[in-house]
Amino acid sequence: MRLNEALKYAVQIADALAQAHAAGIIHRDLKPSNIMMAENGLVKVLDFGLAKLTETATGEFGETATIRAEEDPRTEEGTIVGTVAYMSPEQAEGKKVDARSDIFSFGSLLYEMITGPRAFQGQTKVSTLSAILHQEPKPASEIADEAPHELQKIIARCLRKNPDRRFQHMADLKVALEELKEESESGSAVAPIAVAGVAVWVLARSERTPEAALVPVPLTSYPGDEWAPSFSPDGNQVAFAWNGPSQDNYDIYVKLVGTGPPVRLTSDPADDLSPAWSPDGRFIAFLRMLSNERSAVFLIPAIGGPERKVAEVNSQAWFPDSKWLATIDQPPGKPSAVFLVSVEAVRRKG
């Protein structure tokens, strides 16, 4: 497919799967024949016959969590179901799967939409399964000249063997594709073949001219003040405080590094400052200034959603397990001290 066409359809497929995952449904058989397009260009994801049904429950901070329901014999652990060429490594091994399995299958589908050939293929089903488990596909940018480097990164992240290293939520993947689509339509996305040409020219020139000094490039250049940045654990996003286009109130914003506009997470009239990303990448803690002397720690999902107050303190820092916050506070009549606040306890109270 042409790049813009493929991205347009990919965003719709990702949106459909994100909606299914939010409802507690994992497709488990995503493949080209299960994707149909109406005459008006609207994409439909079909055939949830192998879907893993789950019960939905309210998770921490108002998110939708899923709990495994009693399964059909076809979907229990140890049984391989699905279409071989598009299944995830954990699905190929008959292990338990979650929404990240659909993300792998989506990566295989997107690879084929961009390049033409399948990401994983063999002479037999067994050799195809072996390729899924042990081999990496040829980079999409080496087959499709117009594929930008950022798209290759997105596909590669979908196709990582370890589920913990993939995109963790289909909604995040959809946002990444939307921003890449906007760049592509504006003409700012650069194909890797052009980058390679520049690299060759630079290497040829390097023997005759001294290496240029490194130049810092701003992550943000918006009007007003942006400060207190916090990088996501994978380094792909940055959270920061900004007093907004009108420069009238500090709120917490998140943006992908190097692409697209920022996403506003908070909108309270009080100033929100000092965002800190949780080590698992799911939440952002920040300070809300309640008065000249008091502030409170709040948590908000990194992709947006309901926020929850943790405690009234002066500053905060995450523990590596993402279950505790270390805070500094000064109780009335007592010296300042460091306190531990259980995020799990806040979730239970909420």
Which pLDDT belongs to residue 199? 44
- Residues annotated as catalytic are 29
Mean pLDDT computed over 130-158: 90
Q: Is the pLDDT of residue 34 over 60?
A: yes
- Write out the CATH class of domain 226-349: mainly beta
pTM of the model: 0.50
Q: Which tops the pLDDT comparison, 292 or 337?
A: 337
Q: Are 128 and 122 in contact (CB under 8 A)?
A: yes
DSSP secondary structure, 277-346, as one string:
E-TTSSEEEEEEE-SSS-EEEEEEETT----EEEEEESEEEE-TTSSEEEEEE--TTS--EEEEEEHHHH
Pick the closest to residue 245 from 230, 229, 262, 269 (CA basis): 262
Best CATH choice for the domain 3-186 from the list 1.10.510.10, 3.40.50.1220, 3.90.1150.170, 1.10.3110.10:
1.10.510.10
Confidence at 290, pLDDT banded by 50, 70, 90: confident
User: What is the spatial distance between Cα 254 and Cα 167, in angstroms, rounded to a whole number?
Assistant: 17
Tens-place pLDDT, residues 93-124: 888 889 999 999 999 999 999 999 999 988 88
Residues 6+ apart with CB under 8 A from 291: none
Tens-place pLDDT, residues 324-342: 777 776 667 777 777 787 8
Which pLDDT belongs to residue 71? 45
The domain limits of the chain are 3-186, 226-349
Which pLDDT belongs to residue 50? 62
Tens-place pLDDT, residues 165-223: 999 999 999 999 999 999 888 765 544 434 443 444 444 444 555 566 777 777 888 88
Tens-place pLDDT, residues 49-92: 666 555 443 333 333 333 333 444 444 444 455 688 999 999 88
Tens-place pLDDT, residues 217-264: 778 888 888 988 999 988 888 999 999 988 889 999 999 887 678 889
Longest dimension (CA), the chain: 76
Q: Is the pLDDT of residue 287 over 50?
A: yes
Q: Is the pLDDT of residue 346 over 50?
A: yes
Q: Are 45 and 35 in contact (CB under 8 A)?
A: yes
Pick the closest to residue 65 from 98, 24, 102, 27 (CA basis): 24
Confidence at 316, pLDDT banded by 50, 70, 90: low
Q: Are 41 and 94 in contact (CB under 8 A)?
A: no
With a pLDDT cut of 70, the percent of the chain lying above it is: 78
In the chain the beta strands, taken as DSSP E runs, fall at 25-26, 35-37, 43-45, 52-58, 64-68, 226-231, 237-242, 251-256, 263-264, 272-277, 283-289, 295-301, 308-313, 315-318, 324-329, 337-342
Which pLDDT belongs to residue 215? 75
